[in-house]
Chains A and B, each alone.
Chain A
Amino acid sequence: MSANVAVVRFPGTNCEFDVAEAVTALGGEPTIVFHDEVSLGSADSVVIAGGFAHGDYLRPGAIARFSPIMEAVSRFALEGGAVIGICNGFQVLCESHLLPGALQKNAGLRFKCGTARLRVESNRSALTEQCDVGDELDIPINHFEGNYTCSEETLAELRDNDRIVLRYVENPNGSVDDIAGICNEGRNVVGLMPHPERACNPLLGSNDGVPLMRSLLESALASA
Chain B
Amino acid sequence: MSSDVTDQPTHRALGLTDDEYEDIRTTLGRDPNHLELAMYSVMWSEHCSYKSSRVHLRRLPSEGDHVLVGPGEGAGVLDVGDGIAAAIRIESHNHPSAIEPYQGAATGVGGILRDIFSMGARPIAVMDPLRFGPLDDPRSRWVAEGVVAGVSGYGNSVGVPTVGGETVFDPTYAENPLVNVLCLGLMPAERLVLGRAEGPGNLAVLLGSATGRDGIGGVSVLASAGFSDAEADADKRPSVQVGDPFEEKRLIEACLELLEGDLAVGVQDLGGAGITCATAETAAKGGSGMDVFVRAIPTREPHMEPFEVMTSESQERMLAIVEPERLDEVLAIAARWEIRATVVGRVTDTGQLRVIDSDGTDVGEVAEVLADVPARSLEDEAPLYHREMAVPADFDARRADSPDALACEDAGADLLEMLADTSWVWSQYDHMLFLNTVTPPGADAAVLRLKHPGTGEDTSRALAMSTDGNHLWCAVDPRRGAAMTVVESVMNLATVGARPLAMVNCLNFGNPEHPEVMWQLSEAVDGFTEALDAFGVPCVGGNVSLYNESRGSDIDPTPVIGMLGMVDRLVARPPGPTLVEGGRLVLVGALPGTDGGDLLAGSRWAAQQGSRGTGNLCEPDFGALEVVAAAVRDLVGGQAVPAGAIVGVHDVAEGGVGLALAEMVARSGEGATIARIEDHRALFAESPGRAVLCVDPEHLSEVLAVLEERGVPTQRIGVAGGDRLSVKGLFDLEVAQVTSRWSSALPDALDRGTTQG
The chain A residues found within 8 Å of chain B, CB to CB, are: 11-12, 14-15, 17-18, 21-22, 34, 36, 51-52, 54-57, 110-114, 140, 142, 144, 195, 197-198, 201-205
When each residue 144-181 of chain B gets 1 if its CB lies under 8 Å from chain A and 0 otherwise, what string results?
00000000110011010000000000000000000000
Known: A21-B435, A197-B435, A203-B572. A12 touches B157 (CB 8 A): yes
Interface residues of B (CB under 8 A from A): 152-153, 156-157, 159, 244-246, 249-250, 253, 336-338, 426-435, 437-438, 440, 449, 456, 570, 572-573
Minimum distance in angstroms from B251 CB to a CB of chain A: 11
Minimal beta-carbon separation of B660 from chain A (angstroms): 23
Complex contact A56–B157 (CB within 8 A) = yes
A55 and B427 form a contact (CB under 8 A): no
Residues from chain A with Cβ under 8 Å of B249 in the complex: 11-12, 14, 52, 55
* A residues near B157, Cβ cutoff 8 Å: 12, 52, 55-56
CB-nearest residue of chain B to A54: B246
- Whole-angstrom distance between the alpha carbons of A51 and B337 in the complex? 16
Q: Which residue on chain B has the smallest CB distance to residue A142?
A: B430
Identify the interface centre among A110, A113, A144, A198: most chain B CB within 10 Å of its CB.
A113
Q: Give min CB distance, B348 to chain A, whole Å.
A: 35
13 example contacts (A-B, Cβ-Cβ < 8 A) are as follows A11-B253, A11-B338, A21-B435, A51-B159, A55-B245, A111-B152, A111-B428, A111-B429, A113-B428, A113-B430, A113-B432, A198-B435, A202-B573
A residues in contact with B245, CB < 8 Å = 52, 55
Q: How far is the CA of A18 from the CA of B152 in the complex (A)?
A: 20
Contact of A111 among B156, B456, B573 (CB under 8 A): B156
- When the two chains form the complex, which single residue of A55, A111, A198, A202 contacts B246, counting CB atoms closer than 8 Å? A55
- Apart from A12-B246, A15-B433, A55-B249, what 14 extra A-B contacts exist at CB < 8 Å? A12-B249, A12-B250, A18-B434, A52-B249, A55-B245, A56-B157, A110-B428, A111-B430, A112-B428, A113-B432, A142-B433, A203-B570, A203-B573, A205-B573
Min CB distance, A101 to chain B, in Å?
23
Chain A residues, CB < 8 A from B440? 205
Q: Are the C-beta atoms of A203 and B438 separated by less than 8 Å? A: yes
Q: How far is the CA of A36 from the CA of B249 in the complex (A)?
A: 17
Please indicate which of the listed interface residues B245, B426, B435, B572 has the most CB atoms of chain A within 10 Å of its own CB.
Answer: B435
- Give bound CA distance, A180 to B524, whole Å: 51
Contact status of A140 and B246, CB under 8 A, knowing A51-B159, A55-B157, A203-B572: no
Least distance between B578 CB and chain A CB atoms (Å): 13
**How close is A10's CB to chain B, nearest CB, in angstroms?**
10
8 closest A-B pairs by beta carbon, nearest first, are A55-B246, A14-B159, A52-B157, A111-B428, A111-B152, A18-B435, A142-B430, A113-B430
Task: Give the Cβ gap from B536 to chain A, nearest Cβ, in Å.
Answer: 29
- Name the residue among A57, A110, A195 with the largest chain B CB count within 10 angstroms: A110
Answer whether A22 and B428 are a contact pair too, CB < 8 Å, given A55-B246, A57-B246.
no
Residue of A nearest to B157 (CB): A52
- On chain B, the residues within 8 Å of A112 by CB distance are 427-428
Contact A113 B427 (CB under 8 A): yes
> How far apart sit A36 and B332, CA to CA, in the bound complex (Å)?
14
B246: chain A residues within 8 A (beta carbon):
11-12, 52, 54-57
User: How distant is the Cα of A142 from the Cα of B433 in the complex, in angstroms?
Assistant: 9
User: In the complex where A18-B435, A198-B435, A201-B435 touch, is A11 in contact with B449 (Cβ < 8 A)?
Assistant: no
Q: Residues of A contacting B573 with CB < 8 Å?
A: 202-203, 205
Collect the chain B residues with CB atoms within 8 Å of residue A111's CB.
Answer: 152-153, 156, 428-430
Give the Cβ gap from A36 to chain B, nearest Cβ, in Å: 8
Residues of B within 8 A of A56 (CB): 157, 246
A74 to B494, CA, bound (A): 51
Q: Verify B156–A52 contact, CB threshold 8 A.
A: yes
Q: Are A204 and B427 in contact (CB under 8 A)?
A: no
Give the chain B neighbours of A144 by CB distance below 8 A: 156
Give Cα A52 to B244, complex, Å.
12
Least Cβ–Cβ distance between A174 and chain B, in angstroms: 16
